[in-house]
Amino acid sequence: MALGEIRHIGVIGAGQMGNGIAHVAAQCGLNVTMVDVNPASLEKALATVAKNMDRQVQKGTMSADDAKAAQARITTSTSMDALAQADLVVEAATENEVVKKKIFAELDGILKPEGIMASNTSSISITRLAAVTKRPERFIGLHFMNPVPMMALVEIIRGLATSQETYERVAEVAQKMGKTIATSEDVPGFIVNRLLLPMLNEACYALQDGVADVKSIDTAMKLGAGHPMGPLTLADFIGLDTCVAIMRVLHQELGDSKYRPCPLLVKFVDAGWLGKKAGRGFYDYSSAEPKPYR
């Protein structure tokens, strides 16, 4: 089946990543349909795209007319039926294999046969997600970094059955969105999270073991290792639920105890302290200056 140029992109999940993917896709001229089960997430996503594009206009990196035109290219829906005619659908829903498999199985019956499916998963097997569809050759991993409009990288992951044509169409559109590609094998965590998440998890162990307080751990890695953000701030930014989900995938699938999620990190998630998106994680974000937990 010949695959055409990607002009219309669907995004499932309008959270932190979904709004960023919609932003860069609309900015490069694609039509975007964003779908979420939660109407409040869709409203918040549109407001975030508008706010972030306004910032680009203030900085002079985008014209006001282009920002307006880009926002007009984004439509939203709570039903996946709105994705039927998309050329590519990128799923960016919660990092949970059961949720993602359900989405792809349903989408398979809705999306036009030549439509490509992609997952923005941070760690889950692309081959396993593809296997719930009847189009594993048109299924791929497309892993953007957070925040999507700012971060230059996208990882592309071929599942066992992904066709070369699917890879080429998706690589083309990723480049059109201004991203640089790193191609990873379909292994837990791919490249970035295989290396990054164990470091963030270790920072949680350092806090749990009383090595230092939150602020000292972050300052040490910022100034001592040249990281732009301390590891606990970064974990809050990613979402602590997403961090635990990725560590569980690394732990279960690589079978090495060095990947076990830190109990303190799990406790934060159990408390609903999911990081910046929840207003509280290793820092409390209720005031202008985030306050460290300990």
Ligand X SMILES: NC(=O)c1ccc[n+]([C@@H]2O[C@H](COP(=O)([O-])OP(=O)(O)OC[C@H]3O[C@@H](n4cnc5c(N)ncnc54)[C@H](O)[C@@H]3O)[C@@H](O)[C@H]2O)c1
Give me the residues that bind ligand X (CB under 6 A), please. Answer: 12-18, 35-38, 41, 92-95, 99, 103, 120-122, 143-144, 146, 238-239, 242, 277
CB of 36: closest distance to ligand X in angstroms?
Answer: 4
> Whose Cβ is closer to ligand X: residue 139's or residue 144's?
144
CB of 216: closest distance to ligand X in angstroms?
Answer: 24
Q: Catalytic pick from 41, 119, 122, 163?
A: 122
Q: Catalytic pick from 119, 120, 125, 193?
A: 193
Backbone phi, then psi, for 75, in 5-degree steps?
-120, 160
Q: Catalytic pick from 91, 155, 163, 184?
A: 155
Q: 19 an active-site residue?
A: no
Give the integer Cα–Cα distance in Å for 75 and 221. Answer: 41
Q: 143 an active-site residue?
A: yes
> Whose Cβ is closer to ligand X: residue 24's or residue 35's?
35
Give the integer Cα–Cα distance in Å for 87 and 111. Answer: 9
Q: 122 an active-site residue?
A: yes
| All residues at 6 or more sequence positions from 107 whose CB lies less than 8 Å from its CB, including other chains | 12, 80, 83, 89, 91, 117, 133
CB of 28: closest distance to ligand X in angstroms?
Answer: 19
Question: Which residue in the shown chain puts its C-beta closest to ligand X?
Answer: 15
> Whose Cβ is closer to ligand X: residue 37's or residue 266's?
37
> Whose Cβ is closer to ligand X: residue 18's or residue 230's?
18
Q: Catalytic pick from 143, 163, 184, 201?
A: 143
> Whose Cβ is closer to ligand X: residue 13's or residue 188's?
13
CB of 214: closest distance to ligand X in angstroms?
Answer: 19
CB of 241: closest distance to ligand X in angstroms?
Answer: 7
Annotated catalytic sites, by residue? 122, 143, 155, 193
